Chains A and B, each alone.
Chain A
Amino acid sequence: MMIRKTILGTVLSVLIFGPVHAEIANHKVKIGVLTDMSGPYSDLAGQGSVMAAQMAIEDFGGKVNGWPVELVSADHQSKADIASAIARKWYENEEVDAIADLVTTAAARAVREVAKEKGKVDLDSGPGSLPLTNDWCSATGFHWTYDNYATAGGTATAVIKQGGTSWFFLTADYAFGHDLQAQAERVVKANGGSVLGSVRHPFPSSDFSSFLLQAQSSGAKIIGLANAGNDTINAIKQANEFGITKNGQSIAGLLVFITDVHSLGLETAKGMLLTTGFYWDFDEGTRAFAKRFGARMNGKMPTMVQAGVYSSVSHYLKAVQQANTTEGIRVADKMREIPINDFFAKNGKIRADGRMVHDMYLAEVKAPAESKGPWDYYKILRTIPGDEAFRPLSESTCPLVKK
């Protein structure tokens, strides 16, 4: 009986795992999109990111210097170990040359470690944490769309200029939430504002009434939400419900995606300030892309993360074309050399620490009467020049930055 069991186990495991793909040296370019397809970030990245990458490849003609460009995608379930395992398999065994999106910092970090070791390229569009271009930076790693410095800092600056000088933070009790709060606090204090208090809530939470009550009694003019996704949505919804916004206090979301606004509805979200790296209805170029994207995604408009995936993938392909190789370091050098000019970024440039510097936008959520229909959500109040939006290179702790 034991024998049968063991043999069965063996046969089963071979069936499950299958043979290894043989290593063939052929000329092709392979791009992987590793993202969250089932968890809390699957709407703002997920399938839309895969579609964006596919469009970037198609727009490039599907070929670079005669080499076919292939696309693979997978779900990392926001788990670092799964991300790391897939990245390793892709880079080592499946000749993937670059991995894009990488939403959630823990997953991006795990892939960064593998990419660094293998000398391959990673194009981070989804994650927001600053260490990706500081302590964890690499010569082949790029941070494309936004970071906490830009979104939290941009929003806080705008709010404080409008007179929102006293703040209270609702912070997700997570490294990511702490970082968002720190970035906003920096701006508030530098501009002479004051922080009256903060409360750290467990991640994830659904009931925010208790925290909002604490924020209310602090008397702060601004309640800063240092959280993301459903936490932000629930907090804003309940702030409305408890009449907090009616009584003179305002909400500032430090990281808000257009999918969050879509879920909240304009009636609830109207008037909120936020900083974004991309808005689909900004100009001709963004509208053209959004229209094509929407046609293939059931009318959904691209988020900044998805647009960033398009931009990063097409810039990568351009660099491969000009460097005439897929070898990581050489492509990465070429990527730093050429400026980025597409619908996403005007004269974007990549710094030594891997940060892609481009303009960010300060947006205000429209009132329902101002909106012409679904996804017509933002009024762009101001373009924040890239050099102002992102943390100066001189403050970077990345070892690659020559001082």
Chain B
Amino acid sequence: MRRRDFLKLGVSSLLASQLPGTLLGQTAQPVVAVCQGTDHAAITRKVIAGLGGMKAFVKPGNTVVVKPNMGWDRKPEYAANTHPLVVKTIVEECLSSGARRVKVFDHTCNDARRCYENSGIQTALGGMKNVDVRFVENDRFRKTALNGRFLKEWPLYDDALAADVFINVPIAKHHSLTGLTLGLKNMMGIMADNRGYIHRKIEDALSDVSSVVKSHLVIIDATRILTDHGPQGGNLKDVKVLNTVIASRDIVAADAYATTLFGMKPQDIPTTVTAHKRGLGEMDVKKMKVLSFRF
């Protein structure tokens, strides 16, 4: 590569990263891959393949953060945390695409040790090489300028900021305040301190965070969803098994599509609406290219 080419590429990519999503992200039709089937590992691989495979996201030598929701001290069947098998499959895909290191963490609500253990994620990833399943350490949060509508700055987790690829892996579940908690809400897991503070203006706060920390890939675990008493649940009556996984590069599109699984409309979820208005992605399912697979 000649110097001129290099400079061109550098400047244009720098510019591109600064352009709002309305100009770039939405001109192209967002792709949402959905797969249904009882083999959770297979359907996870399928949706990733639907988006062009993990190699489209993870380059050899990359450091990847896989951020599941494992905020609660609940067993997998209670649908409060991302399914361990989904997380494990994603981590495997990252490694086989040449990731140098895969970091899996969440800033938990309940005791971190119990959450990591009982979510099944720590055990599922146990013994895998080049995979870090570490508890969040307070001194690794870095005060980050967000310059958002609600949050001007907030300490965010260094690993998430420093990662080459950030893969957002929420579970689809009910949430009393925001209606549902999906990809946008899962980003609270990289925030430090008194996160409850943002509840008072959560729509803008979540968009503020996702404007700065981009999810390169969003994979929503809807293998089983929590339909009520979220985000924590605790009652199997509130759990519905859907055996579905959704993936998209577009966080709003992924969230919007997942909303339909609950029989709700994306416009019912204020966090999705705000994120769409602020150019973070597409919320109209008709404008998405939905690739449906079934096993």
Asked whether A and B interact, the reply is no
Binding site for B on A (CB under 8 A): none
Residues of chain B at the chain A interface (Cβ within 8 Å): none
